[in-house]
Amino acid sequence: MTDQLNADQVTPDQVFEQMPNYFQPDKAGNTNATINFDLSGANAGKYWIKIADATATSGKGEGENPNLTLMADANDFVKIIFGQLDPTAAFMQGKLKIKGDMGLALKFQSMFKRP
């Protein structure tokens, strides 16, 4: 993902492929968690991110024993990642659903730089 791209040009596959590159270990502290993403809509899919030992890894499918699952329309999720949709507003409007550790959900966005 480059600065020239915007959310309309990026798929969830591309987001999750690049997520580890945007990870900020200093913001994660001693976080050790698995986050699942259940995305619906035109670019539907399931993805995971594992944060452990100051590193982040990501992949397609479902991660084991998730601490948190985030559910959203795939296009809305990409807009959240790019800062074009506020995650709190998305949650309040029912566009983003959270199952599991709410504290981790709040911390998640600060652990990754915006693309």
pLDDT digits (tens, 9 = 90+) for 38-88: 999 999 999 999 999 999 999 999 999 999 999 999 999 999 999 999 999
Residue pointed to by tokens 């997520």: 19
Work out the pLDDT band at 3, boundaries 50, 70, 90: very low
Is residue 90 predicted with pLDDT exceeding 80?
yes
* Residue 101 neighbours by CB distance under 10 Å: 16
| Residues linked to residue 40 through DSSP beta bridges, in sequence order | 73
Q: What is the pLDDT of residue 115?
A: 79
Q: 92 to each of 87, 98, 114, how far by Cα in Å? A: 9, 11, 22
> Could you write out the DSSP letters of every residue in 98-113?
EEE-HHHHHHHGGGB-
pTM of the full structure: 0.91
CATH code for the domain defined by 7-111: 3.30.1050.10
Task: Report domain extents, the chain.
Answer: 7-111
pLDDT digits (tens, 9 = 90+) for 33-42: 999 999 999 9
